[in-house]
Structure 1
Amino acid sequence: MRPKLNYRLGLPAAIAKKVEKTGQTRGAEKDTVYQNRVNRNSTVLIPISSWKADIILPEGGFENGYIVLANPEEYFSNHPPTPRRNLPTNLTLGENLLVLYETRYHWNHYPPSKYSWVAGNSRKPPLGGQYIARVPDTTSDNDCIERHGYVDKDTGGQGAGIRVYEYASSKEIEATRYQLSFLVWRTEGILDMAREEDIPNPEECKAKIEDKCREMGLDDLQLLEKNRMLDNKGRTVCPLCLKPILAKELAYRVEQAEGRNVPDLTVTTANLFHVKELKAGVYNHRRYNLGWGHHHCNAAARDWGVQLTLEWMEDILRNNGRIK
């Protein structure tokens, strides 16, 4: 029986897993309010400052809803501590709004127990409480870590939701995975790697992915080249340095500097690369904006995207006399 068509078809196991992971958010520690590596269409956390600035919502809204977060000083007026009168009228505490505690000062000056609040435990309204806390320990003997709300399996795992700029709809997640698979099949050495893993008929698998991408409107080679994901020979390149990506770079771990080795490193030499950076209200995890880039190029671009990074690099080269 022929394998069912999906974006993983024919890909070496390590690369297939990498394509799968692109539909998930970045890692998050337990001392933050964010979920660790969950689907990009999960519940979104929106700072109240962004909400007040009329953040643009995605077409159709967020598939799994949203929660707006305000710190105590954004929620309360100081004299006396009562809810501010200028809070947006479309926000209701415990329904789509939670007060977020992240500092010892806020915890001590606006203690939730004073207002008979309980910690939130639901990602759908009603939220089951009025606040969430991630307050670190201090050197004081009387202080301890305060972690309340969305802390165990009963609430679906650590964290209340995902960063708003990481959001993508389920439809967009599927489309980008197919397009990234399309790009994988255009990396140097991918057919040889597939054969080494005894994957049957890799050329046929590649053709099927290309056909599917053509059907979905994901195979515009000119646009992929314009957006720095392919070169003029149709090869997958790093969006920053524009060097061809090798298939093995997607599967092999990055070399570690001597003396800085860690045993559990999972970072590969090439990884997911956002050509235009992720930012709130733009939702740049989308088709024709995702490529495969070198780990060190990704680190250089950080949250700037390609254009700002190139301008920064030009300044460095100019300041060092390498260009005029």
Structure 2
Amino acid sequence: MNILFVADPLESFKTYKDTTFSMMRELQQRGHAIAATEPRHMGWRSGGTVNATVRRIRLTGDAHDWFAVTGEAVESLKDFDAVLMRKDPPFDSEFFYCTHLLEQAQREGARVFNRPSALREHPEKLALMEFAEFAPPTLVTRSPEAIRAFHAEHRDIILKPLDGMGGMGIFRVGADGMNLGSIIETLNQGGATSVMVQRYLPEIVDGDKRLLLIGGKVAPYVLARIPQGNEVRGNLAAGGKGVAQPLSDENRAVAEAIAPVLAARGLLLVGLDMIGNKVTEINVTSPTCFQEIHDQTGFDVPAMFADALLDALGR
């Protein structure tokens, strides 16, 4: 099969931990041809098909010069057996427009994963609100007064921007309300920007756990991202320590309730974030942690993903 990855520049990959790289490696090992492009290299001319300047690549096995370009040309996305959308957040306007191009390619016959419309309809912070029974008390608002009332009710809260990633812009405010006004001003920007507010979960000391939902099934291991020092954020990008561990029965029950719902909407791969037994985010744009789980447990997450992809394609 010919498989196209829509991703960030290949030259920016940190291959020792990059999930997209691990997907490429597994698929190449199975004999499939790999190609890559970037959203900025996609285009659509009236009367024609959605195309992209595509680099055909071969993984070399070298840690530094990890890929070799074997060809470059403008190709229609519909001519690939699968198109994997792996562009990292943020979900900005250009990401949004890219999903429209991918959806048009889908209408032309391309098989796109995750489904473009599902990417748009499941913003990573807001998506958990559909599954409120599994989430902590959560508020999304532009109203400073509503945020203050939420704090008065719950006393210990987390505030974060809806478009944040990697732990960026996350604040904790305790019972004393210290700096709440300043934090609201920073995140809310005078009522111009929506803010997500959640009750603080003390179980964060045991890690912000990344569960992987692949093809409607739950991977048997999770990566607990444990905050270090006085940090409240467990995100690896914010200095958290990633510790792989078996999936608990409690977390499995939650994940197995959510996984088939999302899979039916065209979300082949989902990163479900949980603190304790509560879902805090549902990540769909470019979920990671394949290599960390594989390296620490031996469980072959890339193989599980490749199996699910081939099954979705009927191969």
Interval of TM-score (by shorter of Structure 1 and Structure 2): under 0.3
Report the TM-score when normalising by structure 2: 0.27
- Which has more strand, going by share of residues? 2
Instruction: Give 1 or 2 for the bigger CA radius of gyration.
Output: 1
